[in-house]
Amino acid sequence: MAATNALLVIIRHAPHSSNWLREGLDAALVAAAFGQPVHLLFMGKGILALLKEQGSGAPGQKATLPTIDMLEMYDIDKLWVTKEALQNMHLSTDSLVDGVTLIAEREVAGLLQQHTKILNF
Amino acid sequence: MMSDQKIYRYLDSQKKWALDPEGYLVDQFKWDETAANLMAEEEELTLTPEHWEIIHVARDFYQRYEMAPAMRPLVKATKNALGEEKGRSIYLMQLFPGSPPKRIARLAGLPKPTNCL
Amino acid sequence: MILHILTKAPGSSAALQMQQAVAGQDSVVLIEEAVTAALDPTWKAWQQCQSRIYLLSEDLLARGLATIAVDNQLPTLEMGGFISLTEKYEKSVTWY
Amino acid sequence: MMQYGLLVMGAPYSSPAPHSALRFAHAVLDRGHQVAGVFFYHDGVHNASSLMAPPQDELNLHDAWIELHQQHAIPLDVCIAAALRRGLMSESEAQRHGKQAFNIASPFELTGLGQLLELQQRSARFITFA
């Protein structure tokens, strides 16, 4: 993949732990709302945002899953996850929402190089 | 219950619908078509079947994604529900002049789109 | 080419994720809690980013780690050196 | 001479990020560069609270940012959604939300996330402190 003007938003925090996840996704949505192409890279516990069986509303906060589902309405369709991160958490792709693209951990560095704009959450 | 619970005024003389300082419903669950018509009247807008289609698109969007739609996703949701002809920002601007996402959210009884979006 | 800024200690998930993301030509600046890396000369990143990884001396001094960094022959830089690196690298990513 | 954009996401006195960002900003300016703007997001929005009252002999971060603004006319933008959620608001927002008090005033400006993206676009260098 050649250099891209898309904004890369890196998501590294899990739902229901802090507001990093929500505020990272908000930044991605706003960029997309302004017409900027946006790509998402999920690292570490950030992957938990993509679990398809997340309940709603618990505990007293807005659920993440509806926002993940909503990404396609903003034409955000690149959701990268590394195979190694999945393995570390003993998860398989079956537990994740549709539309996730698996990459190898050694591809992460290249991905960062290709994007001129990066926001890390 | 949404975060903004301060009652600023009422939409109707029977005080059935409380509004916040910006004219949004304080209690989303009290929304019905009568409330929508009253709010539209305040805005000097007459709701036609074309308006109602879009209001329902916005309500369905909120049901599914738990967020009132900003312009871009609203256009896409309209396109998905009602076809290419209507799924364009110019069409929404004609029906709801000014800021369609904000006006539609109000009329559809949704929380106002967050300031950032 | 990216300048990576790490603010958390080696062993933190921020540090591990940064190590995954560093490419050949990148540099790394360790600031805040990340300067505790001075205590661990066996940290993998020292090898991974040889000669392109630096500790911010102000943050070392504040934590009483300056002498240890010297003893372990680890490269340090002042705030001015940090600015120089940001001049050299168009992009930066902070890991926290 | 280059334009630097700074993103601050750490809260005062619970994260060293604001101190690092301030020191970095001064060093950048000493080098002859410019700071195009500082954007406060996530817990960084607390930097904008005018009700911050640390002990007298400690640096008041709120005042330090204002000093930076006064000396170099650097915009201090605060994400409005992140701020309101955390109980930080300007007088007009307080009225709009029916609140009794407010703690954000000029030169801090409540603004949308669009400003963050715009700052990133127009800065030759964009550095995050979190």
ipTM: 0.93
Same domain assignment for residues B99 and B57: yes
Write out the residue range of the structural domain in which residue A107 sits: 4-52+61-120
Instruction: Give the sign of the dihedral formed by CA B116, CA C5, CA C9, CA C15.
Output: positive
How many domains does the structure of chain A reveal?
1
D54 in A contact zone (CB under 8 Å)? no
- Strand segments, DSSP code E, in chain B are 9-10, 18-19
Size of interface B-D (CB pairs under 8 A): 23
| Tens of pLDDT, residue by residue, chain A (121 residues) | 678 899 999 999 999 888 999 999 999 999 999 999 999 999 999 999 999 999 876 567 788 999 999 999 999 999 999 999 999 999 999 999 999 999 999 999 999 999 999 999 9
Per mean pLDDT, which range of B69-78, B80-89, C42-51, D25-34 is the poorest?
C42-51
Same domain assignment for residues B58 and B103: yes
CATH number at residue B100: 1.10.10.370
Neighbours of chain D (3+ CB pairs under 8 A): A, B, C
pLDDT at A55: 83
| Average pLDDT, integer, range B18-32 | 91
Q: Give domain status of residue B3, yes or no.
A: no
How many domains does the structure of chain D reveal?
1
Domains and CATH numbers, chain C: 2-95 (3.40.1260.10)
Q: What is the identity of the amino acid at A96? A: L
CB atoms closer than 10 angstroms to residue D23? 17
* Mean pLDDT value across chain D: 97
Find which of D4, D7, D31, D35 to mutate to test the C interface (most C CBs within 10 Å of its CB). D31
Q: Give domain status of residue B98, yes or no.
A: yes
D116 in A contact zone (CB under 8 Å)? yes
pLDDT at C95: 98
Same domain assignment for residues B35 and B57: no
Would the pLDDT of B2 be above 50?
A: no
Q: Give domain status of residue B113, yes or no.
A: no
How many angstroms away from the CA of C70 is the closest CA of chain D? 23
How many domains does the structure of chain B reveal?
2
Same domain assignment for residues B53 and B100: yes
Window 7-66 of C: residues touching D by CB (8 A cutoff) are: 7, 31-33, 58
Confidence of residue B5 (pLDDT cuts 50, 70, 90): low
Confidence of residue D5 (pLDDT cuts 50, 70, 90): very high
Nearest to A67 among B67, B70, B71 (CB): B67
Per mean pLDDT, which range of B79-93, C42-56, D56-70 is the poorest?
C42-56
Write out the residue range of the structural domain in which residue B32 sits: 9-42
Write out the residue range of the structural domain in which residue D79 sits: 3-51+60-129
Same domain assignment for residues B30 and B77: no
Confidence of residue D49 (pLDDT cuts 50, 70, 90): very high
Q: Is D18 known to be catalytic? A: no
Half-sphere exposure of D54 (CA within 13 A, CB side): 13
pLDDT at D97: 85
pLDDT digits 0-9 by tens, A58-91: 567 788 999 999 999 999 999 999 999 999 999 9
Nearest to B65 among A33, A35, A70 (CB): A70
Given an 8 Å threshold on Cβ–Cβ distance, is A33 in contact with B76? no
Given an 8 Å threshold on Cβ–Cβ distance, is B116 in contact with D113? yes
pLDDT at A2: 76
pLDDT at D78: 98
| CB-based burial label for C80 (10 Å; 0-12, 13-18, 19+) | exposed
CATH number at residue D107: 3.40.1260.10
Same domain assignment for residues B53 and B25: no
> Taking CA atoms, what residue in D is nearest to B8?
D98
Window 77-116 of B: residues touching D by CB (8 A cutoff) are: 114-116
Would the pLDDT of B1 be above 50?
A: no
CATH number at residue A115: 3.40.1260.10
Instruction: Give the sign of the dihedral formed by CA A69, CA A72, CA A74, CA A80.
Output: positive
Q: Give domain status of residue B114, yes or no.
A: no
